[in-house]
């Protein structure tokens, strides 16, 4: 009788050990695969029920209570904000630079060379025989000896006998002048410099901001951050796309 009891006890211990080893092996494999292991040594008990709180639904496959997650609002990354087209936009501003359409930038002004024709002083007219100078003419009458025109003048008429009347043309010459700059006798023009305000320009990828000539702007757009799921209670399961929490067991 004692031998039978001992044998029965030995067999029970052996079977229990095998079951424990099998259970441990199954749980190890389940965790290795990223799954929640189902306890093999706790078969479903028809007398037990699983209870989930309101708005939660029991999932027999995962043996978890689940519900739909909530979602965050779409948003823009740091440094971006929505524009009028609901795009995520970033704006960067930098100072503009000065540039000259002609000439050289000197102390904030565009300096360039210019020329213009010379002018004759008041009372003088251009000398068509020499474009570098101007002339003024007037006549005089000589009524006394030696009845000769002054040096440099030209006799234009003589009347009478021994006491003639001699008319002389006197021509005065002068160089052309400039209203600004200096007259160049080699090029026959007045040479001077003009000053004009610079033109604001922007680097590549930037543009001027409205009527502000001192500021350049660059804008870029990117995709918004899409809504992301989250759970007020429980944990989000990306495989089932549900919020999960453990059920409460109770008797039927």
Band (pLDDT 50/70/90 cuts) for residue 135 is very high
Provide the percentage of residues in the chain whose pLDDT is more than 90. Answer: 56
Q: What is the pLDDT of residue 21?
A: 39
Cα Dmax for the chain:
193
pLDDT of 187 higher than 50? yes
DSSP 8-state code for residue 76: P
Of 18-27, 134-143, 220-229, the least confident = 18-27
Domain boundaries, the chain: 1-42, 44-73+227-252
User: pTM of the predicted model, to two decimals?
Assistant: 0.44
Distance in Å from the first CA to the final CA of the chain = 42
Residues 6+ apart with CB under 8 A from 167: 139, 140, 141, 142, 155, 156, 157, 158
Instruction: Please give the structure tokens belonging to residue 59.
Output: 């999932």
Rounded to the nearest integer, the mean pLDDT of the chain is 82
DSSP 8-state code for residue 225: B
Q: What is the DSSP secondary-structure string of 124-160? A: -EE-TT-TTEEEEEEEEEE-STT--PPTT-EEEEEES
Band (pLDDT 50/70/90 cuts) for residue 71 is very high
For residues 211-238, average pLDDT: 93
Of 12-21, 75-84, 239-248, the least confident = 12-21
pLDDT, tens digit, 9 for 90 and up, residues 29-52: 544 454 444 443 344 444 445 789
């Amino acid at each position: 009788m004692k031998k039978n009891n001992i044998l029965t006890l030995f067999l029970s211990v052996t079977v229990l050990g095998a079951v424990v080893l099998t259970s441990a092996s199954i749980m190890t494999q389940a965790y290795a695969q990223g799954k929640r292991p189902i306890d093999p040594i706790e078969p479903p008990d028809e007398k037990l029920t699983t209870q989930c709180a309101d708005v939660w639904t029991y999932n027999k496959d995962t043996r978890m209570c689940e519900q739909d997650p909530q979602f965050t609002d779409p948003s823009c990354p740091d440094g971006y904000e929505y524009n009028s087209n609901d795009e995520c936009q970033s704006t960067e501003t930098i100072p503009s630079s000065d540039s000259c359409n002609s000439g050289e930038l000197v102390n904030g002004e565009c300096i360039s060379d210019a020329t213009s024709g010379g002018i004759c002083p008041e009372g003088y007219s251009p000398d068509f025989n020499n474009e570098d100078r101007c002339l003024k003419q007037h006549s005089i009458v000589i009524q006394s000896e030696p009845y000769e025109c002054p040096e440099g003048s030209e006799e234009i008429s003589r009347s009478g006998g021994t006491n003639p009347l001699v008319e002389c043309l006197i021509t005065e010459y002068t160089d052309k002048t400039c209203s600004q700059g200096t007259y160049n006798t080699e090029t026959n023009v007045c040479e001077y410099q003009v000053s004009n305000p610079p033109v604001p320009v922007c680097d590549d990828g930037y543009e001027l901001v409205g009527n502000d000539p001192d500021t350049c702007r660059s804008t870029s757009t990117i995709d918004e951050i899409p809504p992301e799921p989250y759970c007020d209670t429980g944990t989000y399961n990306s495989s089932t796309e549900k919020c999960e929490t453990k059920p409460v067991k109770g008797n039927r």
